Structure 1
Amino acid sequence: MNSDRAYPTLTVWLVHDNDRLRIRLDVMASAVPGIVVTAAIRQRDVTSVLRSHTTPDVVIVGGDSNVRDALHLVRHLASALPHTRIAVMSNRTEAAYAREFADAGAHVYLGTDEGPGQLAVLLDEWADTVSDSPVNDDRHGS
């Protein structure tokens, strides 16, 4: 890594359904320079957090336990946060899930095979583009 590189701040919410997954997501996100995890949220608490937190650049949804709940959550987030990128991490690698999550509004679906390395690459790429984004100035609105 180039230590002279200036990294823009990329705000991230981690949405999970268990503490083991929250820790795994946090470790992956924290490995990328410029990432600021502003909330770690249980899936059942997302609606209340949407009302009380600033809009993040990225939401990482862990979809390990209940795929149907995670799909519903991604649809809800895509509707409520139209300018936010949504990444889904899951231990399920079936291609059908990737299509379903894309249809629900996820920007990327990462199964077990892609793992944390691919998430780190995506977050790094998204951090490079967020400062150039026209919605970046409005991301801290309601």
Structure 2
Amino acid sequence: MKWIQKHTIQITECISLTFILLFVYAAASKLFDYHKFRAQLMQSELLAPYANILVWMIPLLELGIAILLLFPKLRLQALTFSVILMISFTIYIWYILKYSDHIPCSCGGIINTLSWTEHLFFNLMLILLAIIGTKLSIHIKHTT
């Protein structure tokens, strides 16, 4: 038996834990510094009209996905949502880098040490990780 087949569940759990930590940390940093996060959204010409909704919706989505990742039976759906959310964030970053005259303030927390380009590549790596987790979750579902 191949190593990957033998350890599929553990790998999927590690990927899920990575996203749980990422999303809880990101949501908490947004909620704890609500006014800063709202101000950052207001600086974005693309997101400013929706800032009052997004300031709550984004952290709630992140926390919701993190909670779903805790449950093995919901993990496939949660990892799929993780892919979608990370793709959405990545498209936004790409749009800002490509089309925006004004690049708003960076994200909060540890991510604020990254440039927007580095953040784009960081997100691309997370998308890849979420896709791997999704594929492994599909494999687990078909073998159990």
Q: Under a length normalisation based on structure 1, what TM-score does the superposition of the two structures give?
A: 0.28
Computing the radius of gyration over CA atoms, which structure comes out larger, 1 or 2? 2
Higher helix share: 2
